[in-house]
Amino acid sequence: MIHNSQVINELNELGIKTVDNLPERDGSDKSAVCIIRSHGASFEVFEDIKNKGYELVDLTCPDVKKVQDRAIELSKEDYFVIILGKEEHPEVVAITAYARKYAKNKDRIFVAKSVEALKEIEPVLKKESKIGIVIQTTQRIEYLKEVLDYLTPISKELRIINTICASTSLRQNEARRLAKESDLMIVAGSKKSANTTHLAEILAPITKTIHIEDDAELDNYKTLIHNAQNIGITAGASTPDYIINRVIEKLKSI
């Protein structure tokens, strides 16, 4: 349901399996529940769940739903829609699917993981009369600013919908503040988690930063830890409290 290996393993032990493709029901199970993860899913996935007779539980994050709705809105209003994020990320996959469903021309939906990706289609962008932007909820605000600086001079009409999650922005700002007071920052959380990896990216230019998934990885950085006077700890949104507490306890022992 979230990008955290420990949580996924715990769910697996409870009998909640992660699948990429929904299996056909063989009739032996009286009831079967399919949960949509927090990143959301395309409308085709929802239809597949219903058609195969599963009970549907939609746990898409409300903030992610807002991005989907805004992308649909831009598509219906015939904007060239730019989705800022990583094309392969499940949240972006779903957003893109919804935008394309309502677009008159599916080629006018573009996912950009960097400003460089936009520069590659600059001739196309200059011809567009209307450009609309949404952004993956866990992206950095700095990325959005870079895109705006690039697009503003070459756009005829530019509509920006800042869909970065408020919790993500707050977490990033607090982590920056903490990093300025620390000579070592520890970011705890899954390396598959976008918001966690972005935290590490944001903090690295400010102070020495290490990204770990759990307390066991601290053994690889004992020299760094011993030499640090002020250590700051932050974590991704999907990192369970018990992992953060284990990291704190392990640091005390080191």
CB of 80 closer than 8 Å to CB of 128: yes
**Torsion sign over Cα 209, 89, 84, 38:** negative
Which DSSP letter does residue 95 get?
Answer: H
Distance CA 3, CA 231 (A): 25
Which residues in 228-244 are b (16+ Cβ under 10 Å) and which e?
beebbbbbbbbbbeebb
The single-letter code of the amino acid at 2 is I
Annotated active-site residue in 24, 44, 88, 91: 91
Q: How far apart are CA 161 and CA 229, in angstroms?
A: 41
Contacts of 159 (CB under 8 A, 6+ apart): 74, 79, 130, 131, 132, 133
* Inter-axis angle of helices 194-203 and 166-180, nearest 10: 30
Return the closest-CA partner of residue 108 out of 81, 85, 68.
81
Contact indicator for 208, 162 with CB cutoff of 8 Å: no
Does 10 qualify as catalytic in the annotation? no
What positions carry a catalytic annotation? 91
